Structure 1
Amino acid sequence: MYNHIINFIRETFHQPEGVVPLHAPCFIGNEKKYLNECIDSTFVSSVGKFVDRFEEMVAEYTGAKRAVVCVNGTNALHMAMLLVGVEHGDEVLTQPLTFIATANALSYIGAHAVFLDVDRDTMGLSPAKMRKWLQENAEIRCSECFNKTTGRKIKACVPMHTFGHAVHLEELAELCREYHIELVEDAAESMGSFYKGRHTGTFGKVGAVSFNGNKTITTGGGGMLLFMDEELGKQAKHLTTQAKVPHRWEFVHDCVGYNYRMPNINAALGCAQMEHLQEFVDNKRELAWKYATYFEGTDIQFFTEPRDCTSNYWLNVVLLKDKEARNRFLEETNDAGIMTRPVWQLMNRLPMFKDCECGDLSNAEWLEARIVNIPSSVRLS
C-alpha cells in the first residue's frame, strides 16, 4: 500500500537497498582532528579547552548570555528545575506528549507533574489549555501560585519543543509571568530552531538542550543549559562541578553539588559539530520541503513548522488518518527497511505517572494515534 512512499524515501536518500535510518549522526568536519588533539593533551575528562570553547560557541549561536555543558539533556533539565527553585512536593506543569526525560527530571526532585494538553499546530504545550486549567485550578497567594485542590505550590512550567518545532513561546511566557510560575524550556530537540528570530531555550529562565547521538548535532551524549542571566549561569557551573570552590590544591565544597560535567573529549566532538550546525539545519529544511511537496495532495499530512517558528526539522512528522492506518504504515515501512517510529506513549499512560493530575488531553491523544516519524538524517552529496 505504501510502496510509492518507500521508493520515494529511498530515492531521496540515494539508498536503493539496506536500512534507511531514522536519524544518523553526521561527521564531515574536524571531529577526528579535535578528538586527537584532546587525547594528545591528556585532558579527556571534565577540564580542557574544548569544554570552554563549546560553551562559547553555543552561547554565541543561540544568543544566550551563558551556556553551561552537562553530561546529558536529562541532567540539564534536572539542574534547570533545581536552579529555578523547584522543591520536593511542588507541582510542575508540562505536556504528556514528550520524551520521558521531561517527566523523569522533575521526579528526581520529588516534584509532581501536572499534564496539560498540547496544540495541534506545534505538538507542544498549549497556552490556551494551560490558561483554562489555571483559571479553574490555581490561585495566587503572597506572589506564589498554588493548586486550590491539592494545596501544593505550582512552581514551574516546562514546555517541550517537539521534534524541533517551537511552542507558542510569547503566550506561555506571559502566562507564566501572570501566575508567578517559572518557565523552563525543554529545548532538547530544538538546537537550531528559532521563534520570532530568537533561539529556543532563551525565553525561559533556563533552557535545556540535548546532544544525544540522534540529535541534529551530537557529542555522543551530552547536554547544555542556556541562560539570559549570567549570574544564574555562574551558579549552574558551580553546582554542576560538585560545588567545588576554586583553589590550586584544596578540596573545598560549599554546598551539595552534582557531577554533571561534560568530558572534554565529548566537547571536542561538539566543537566540530557546531562548525557545521547551520549547514545541517539548512540541509534538513531542504529535506522537509521535499517531503512537504511530495505529500501535498495525498491523504497523509506532512507536519510543517508552526507560525513564527523557523524549525530545525529534527525529526520529520507525518500524520496518518487514524491509529489503524498509522500501525499499517509503521509495519510496511519497517518491513521494507525504512526506519519509522510512532510518537512516545503519553506520559500519563505510563505506570509511574498514571496518578498525576491531568487536564483535558484531547489534542495529545489525537496526535498520539496518528504521528509517525520518517527518516530525517542530513543527506550528504
Structure 2
Amino acid sequence: MIPLSVPQLAGNEWKYVKDCLDTGWISSAGSYVSQFEQLVADYAGVKYGVACMNGTVGLHIAQILSGVTSEDHVIAPNITFIATLNAIKYTGASPILIDVDPQNWQMDLELLESFLQENVVFKEVEGKIYSFNKETNKRIKAIMPVHVLGNIGDMEQLQEIATSYHIDIIEDSTEALGSLYKGKHAGSFGKFGVFSFNGNKIISTGGGGVIVTNDEALAQKAKHLTTQAKVSTMEYLHDEVGYNYRLVNVLAAIGVAQMEQFPILLENKKRMDSYYRSELSGIGDIEFQMVLPCVEANCWLFTFKTKYMRLLLDYLNLNDIQSRPFWVPMNQLEMFEDDIYVTKSNNSLEIYNTSISIPSSAGITKAEMARVVQTIKTFYSRIYITKK
C-alpha cells in the first residue's frame, strides 16, 4: 500500500527522544519544548511561539485571548477540516460560514465583503468599535482564514476587510508551514497563527501544535492558559480557569528533529506537486487547485477535481494506493447545519463531490509516484473506452 501521507523520520528523532528518556525529562518541562517553539516561530518570521497539544487547542486558546465569547460570531470557510469549527464551538461562539472560491478553494473574499456590507452595523463597546450582525445582534469578533491544503488566498485583501470591520484575524495555518504569500509566511498576518504537527503533516510530533504571535503579552498569556494557569512554581495556586493543553518534552524533541529536516522535506513536497501536475495535466477531466502567482504553497496534500471521484477513489484503493475524498462541507454536518452559511453557488459542495487526495508523503519515492500516475492513467483509459 502506498500511504496517503505519513511522516518521514530520518533525522535525530531517536537521538533526541533517547536524551529525554535518559535524563527523565519526558513531560511538560524540558529544553526541547522551548527549542521547538522558537524554531517554529523563527521559521514563520514571528517573534513568539507557544507549543500545545495540537492545532485544535491552539485555535481554541487564540480565540479566548482574542476575547471571543458565547455572545460572538467567528467567521470561517465552509471547506475546512472540522477542527476549525470545533474550536469555535468550544468558545460557545456561533460560526458564520463563507463559501469558497471555486478556483483556489480558499474563503471567497468578495462574498465575505458583500455579506459584511449588507449585514453589519457598527457599535461602540467600552470605547472600541465593533461589527455586529444586524439579524442576530451578535458581535463579529474574529475571522479564521484556513490555508486549505497549504495554499493561501489574497491575504492583503483579507487584512483590509478585517481592518475595515474591526475584526481580529486568527490564521488557521495548521496545514501551511512553509507556505508564503508575497514572501511573507503563513501565520504571520493576524493576531495569531496556529500550526499543526499531526501525523499527516509535512513534519510531525505525532500530535502537537504551535501558536505564534508578535505580541509578547499574548504569548505569555497563551503559555499561562495552556499550563493550567498556575502562578507559583511551588504552590498549587491558579489565578483563572486554565487548560492542560501543553506539549510534552518528548514530543517536542521529535519536533526539533523534524524542524531540522523541514527544508529538505518541503522541497520534496514541491517536487511531488510538480511531478503530479506535469504527469496528470490533460488526463481525463482532471482539474488542479489554482495557486495565486504571489503564493508559494507548501504542497501539503495533492488533491484534484474529477467528476469520476468516487469511481477513481475505489479504483486506487483497490490497487493499494491509499486515497481519500475531501472534507465534507461544514454546513452539511448536523452540528453546524443551523449556523449561517453565506453562498451564491455552493462551490463547497461541488468541490467536495469532485475532489480526491492522492499519496503525498514527504518521503514518497519517484517509483511510487510513477505507480500512482500510471494507475490513474489506466483508470481514465478504461473510463473513456467504456464511454465510447
Fold shared by both chains (TM-score > 0.5): yes
Match for residue 255 of structure 2? 270
- CA distance, structure 1, for counterparts of residue 90 and residue 172 of structure 2: 16
Match for residue 180 of structure 1? 166
Counterpart check, 1:305 vs 2:288: no
- CA distance, structure 1, for counterparts of residue 199 and residue 282 of structure 2: 34
- CA distance, structure 1, for counterparts of residue 231 and residue 103 of structure 2: 47
Match of 1:375 among 348, 353, 359: 359
Match for residue 370 of structure 2? none
Whether contact under 8 Å (2:58, 2:194) holds in the other structure is: yes
SS in 2 for 1:107: helix
Identical-residue share of aligned pairs (%): 42
Match of 1:213 among 196, 199, 223: 199
- CA distance, structure 2, for counterparts of residue 131 and residue 215 of structure 1: 31
CA RMSD, aligned part only?
Answer: 1.2
> How much does 1:218 deviate?
0.3
Match for residue 157 of structure 2? 171
Match for residue 138 of structure 2? 152
Structure-to-structure mapping, 1:237-248, within 5 angstroms = 237-247=223-233
> How much does 1:366 deviate?
2.1
SS in 2 for 1:189: coil
Structure-to-structure mapping, 1:68-79, within 5 angstroms = 68-79=50-61
Whether contact under 8 Å (1:121, 1:306) holds in the other structure is: no
The AA in structure 2 aligned to 1:369 is N
| Number of aligned residues | 359
Match for residue 14 of structure 1? none
Match of 2:335 among 328, 335, 352: 352
Match for residue 245 of structure 2? 260
SS in 1 for 2:132: strand
Counterpart check, 1:134 vs 2:88: no
> How much does 1:89 deviate?
2.4
User: Which segments of 5 or more consecutive residues in structure 2 lack a partner in the other structure?
Assistant: 366-388
Match of 1:197 among 183, 197, 201: 183
Kindly provide the CA deviation profile for residues 72-131 of structure 1, in whole angstroms up to 9, marking residues without a partner as x.
111001001111110012111111101000000010111101111111232111211100
- CA distance, structure 1, for counterparts of residue 244 and residue 314 of structure 2: 42
Counterpart check, 1:366 vs 2:350: yes
SS in 1 for 2:49: strand
Whether contact under 8 Å (2:104, 2:289) holds in the other structure is: no
Is the deviation greater in 61-70 or in 363-372?
363-372
SS in 1 for 2:112: helix
Kindly provide the CA deviation profile for residues 247-287 of structure 1, in whole angstroms up to 9, marking residues without a partner as x.
3x222212211111000000000000000111101011001
> How much does 1:133 deviate?
0.7
- CA distance, structure 2, for counterparts of residue 215 and residue 340 of structure 1: 15
Kindly provide the CA deviation profile for residues 27-83 of structure 1, in whole angstroms up to 9, marking residues without a partner as x.
010000000001111110101000011011111111111000001111001001111
> How much does 1:380 deviate?
5.9
- CA distance, structure 2, for counterparts of residue 169 and residue 363 of structure 1: 20
Structure-to-structure mapping, 1:95-110, within 5 angstroms = 95-110=77-92
The AA in structure 1 aligned to 2:41 is A
**How high is the TM-score relative to the length of structure 2?**
0.90
SS in 2 for 1:275: helix
